[in-house]
């Protein structure tokens, strides 16, 4: 099942994708795609529906973030060994965690702002985990029981803000529009092997990133388990799991985004995104 949100920014409505690729409105059944609607019980009720009985959405509406603003947007850094090395760092012994402000979240095809004073805005295609049940001190063996599904994420980053402006990474990760999520959340039952998903990203039609989740240092189950040892994960929270190699920081010479450029990205089963860069 693929769940998504459509409509103007701030007034999105919940929907699902039917088997023919049509959007079907589910706002009569749930108010939004959020923590409450992502519980196992809620997802089971939605999955039991015949989508063709739901109102069909005509035209090509704007697609919003697949998840309404989550309580937490947690990210994992340096989770692919070859990406760690391209940034000049050694692969970590434990997952590197940082937070991305929930206000950074936007739709998958919304314009992405290059911050004022930025000269190192970068791209990062990632698998996003969407939590479906409250997770605290969960075992790795049980970790996937707490997952509702998965979504495509672009962890847009400003490298100078991230690494040269003091403190932690959050200030380089949290500018408005730095968190495109979607186009949809696909429930975990539709993903046969979450550790075998292809990821890719292009800038102006040129391939920059190609990867697969099988090369993660820390897999999905371990990440949910690990993070739950430090904080409670609530339904609707998003975990961005790290990016494969090919980011602008790792190019020789380093190459970063400019206003007017277009970034497209995708992952197996998770759809595609398209963002035009604009100056903030």
Burial of 174 per CB tally in 10 Å (0-12, 13-18, 19+): buried
Backbone angles phi, psi at 79, to 5 degrees: -95, 5
Does the pTM exceed 0.95? yes
Distance of CA 73 to CAs 19, 174, 240, 278, Å?
Answer: 30, 10, 8, 23
Token pair, residue 106, equals 């936007």
Token pair, residue 150, equals 């998965």
Delineate the domains of the chain, giving CATH numbers in brackets: 2-53 (no CATH), 73-279 (3.90.850.10)
Query: What is the mean predicted confidence (pLDDT) over 204-223?
Result: 97
Examine the pLDDT at 86 and tell me if it is beyond 90.
Answer: no
- What is the average pLDDT score of the chain? 96
**pLDDT of the residue at 166:** 83
**pLDDT of the residue at 205:** 98
Distance of CA 138 to CAs 29, 41, 134, 135, 142, Å?
Answer: 31, 20, 10, 6, 7
CA–CA separation, 191 vs 195, rounded Å?
9
CA–CA separation, 260 vs 216, rounded Å?
32
**Pick from 201, 197, 199, 200: which is nearest to 214 by CA?**
197
Would you say 116 and 171 are in contact if contact means Cβ atoms under 8 Å apart? no
Burial of 178 per CB tally in 10 Å (0-12, 13-18, 19+): buried
> pLDDT tens digits, residue range 130-162?
999 999 999 999 999 999 999 999 999 999 999
Angle at 153 between CA 118 and CA 50, to 5 degrees: 150
Query: What is the mean predicted confidence (pLDDT) over 193-212?
Result: 98
Query: What is the mean predicted confidence (pLDDT) over 121-130?
Result: 98
**pLDDT of the residue at 46:** 96
CA–CA separation, 125 vs 275, rounded Å?
12
Give the burial string for 97-123 (b: 16+ CB within 10 Å, else e). bbebebebbbbbbbebbbbeebebbbb
């Amino acid at each position: 099942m693929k769940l998504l949100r459509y409509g103007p920014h701030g007034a999105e409505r919940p929907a699902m994708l039917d088997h023919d690729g049509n959007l079907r409105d589910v706002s009569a059944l749930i108010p939004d795609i959020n923590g409450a609607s992502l519980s196992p019980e809620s997802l089971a009720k939605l999955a039991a529906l015949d989508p063709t009985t739901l109102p069909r959405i005509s035209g090509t509406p704007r697609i919003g973030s697949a998840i309404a603003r989550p309580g937490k947007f947690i990210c994992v850094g340096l989770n692919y060994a070859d990406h760690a090395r391209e940034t000049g760092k050694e692969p970590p012994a434990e997952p590197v965690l940082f937070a991305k402000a929930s206000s950074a979240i936007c739709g998958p095809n919304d314009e992405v702002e290059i911050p004022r004073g930025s000269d190192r805005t970068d791209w990062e295609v990632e698998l996003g985990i969407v939590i479906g049940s409250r997770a605290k001190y969960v075992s790795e063996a049980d970790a996937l029981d707490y997952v509702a599904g998965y979504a495509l994420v672009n962890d847009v980053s400003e490298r100078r803000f991230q690494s040269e402006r003091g403190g932690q990474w959050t200030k380089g990760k949290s500018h408005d529009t730095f968190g495109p999520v979607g186009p949809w959340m696909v429930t975990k039952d539709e993903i046969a092997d979450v550790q075998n998903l292809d990821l890719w990203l292009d800038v102006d039609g040129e391939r920059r990133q190609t990867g697969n989740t099988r090369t993660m240092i820390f897999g999905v189950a371990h990440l949910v388990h690990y993070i739950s040892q430090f904080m409670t994960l609530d339904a609707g929270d998003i975990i961005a799991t790290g990016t494969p190699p090919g980011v602008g920081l790792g190019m020789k010479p380093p190459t970063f985004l400019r206003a007017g450029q277009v970034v497209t990205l995708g992952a197996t089963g998770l759809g595609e995104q398209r963002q035009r860069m604009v100056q903030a």
